[in-house]
Amino acid sequence: MVRTEISLFLENVPGELGKLGTILSEAGVNIDALTIQDASEYVQELFRARGKTLKRIAAAASYGSMKKDSADYALIRILVDNTDKAIDILSNGSYVFDMMPVIALEIYNKPGTLANLAKTFGEEGININYVYGSALPGAEKSLFVFSPEDIDTAAQIFKE
């Protein structure tokens, strides 16, 4: 199913994730899925994208500054149960965020299920930019979030 993922930057200091979680929970917004990475990895991806496409995403002088500053931030990606409310909360705060469609799938928690899904993406010629998910031991299902390059085709394939 297609869902809206919210990506935002948080200062890479103790307590920031707790603050974000608190403001969302106080508004009754539940986090369904979350991943965190050092923002410098995100900036490195910008460098790789520039190298592949030869298109500048920022001025050449900005890349060094971006790389240095990005270590001070973490890139958080979340799926929430009430995206509109979360966006209102983030907009009223001092958060820098973006939204994008992703494919969120509840899959059976058994060997080979994730492999079969990834194989399906590949057979359809759809590259997966990133994926995150988790399962509790013994749980029947788990939630995995896929960011495919071709969201429209992926949505058609996995619409069930």
Q: Which residues, in sequence order, are bridge partners of residue 104?
A: 145
Positive/negative CA dihedral, 116, 117, 122, 123: positive
Write down the pLDDT at residue 9.
87
CA angle 42, 47, 52 (to 5 degrees): 120
Query: pLDDT tens digits, residue range 124-160?
Result: 999 999 999 998 899 999 999 999 999 999 999 988 6
Mean pLDDT of 95-101: 92
Phi, psi angle pair for 59, to nearest 5°? -60, 145
pTM of the model: 0.79
Specify burial of residue 20 (Cβ count, 10 A radius: 0-12, 13-18, 19+): buried
Assess whether pLDDT exceeds 50 at residue 20: yes
Fold classification of 2-157 is VC0802-like (3.30.2130)
Asked if residue 17 lies in contact with residue 10, where contact means CB atoms within 8 angstroms, the answer is yes
Q: Give me Rg for the CA atoms of the chain.
A: 17
**Distance (Å, whole) CA 68 – CA 43:** 10
What is the overall mean pLDDT for the chain?
A: 85
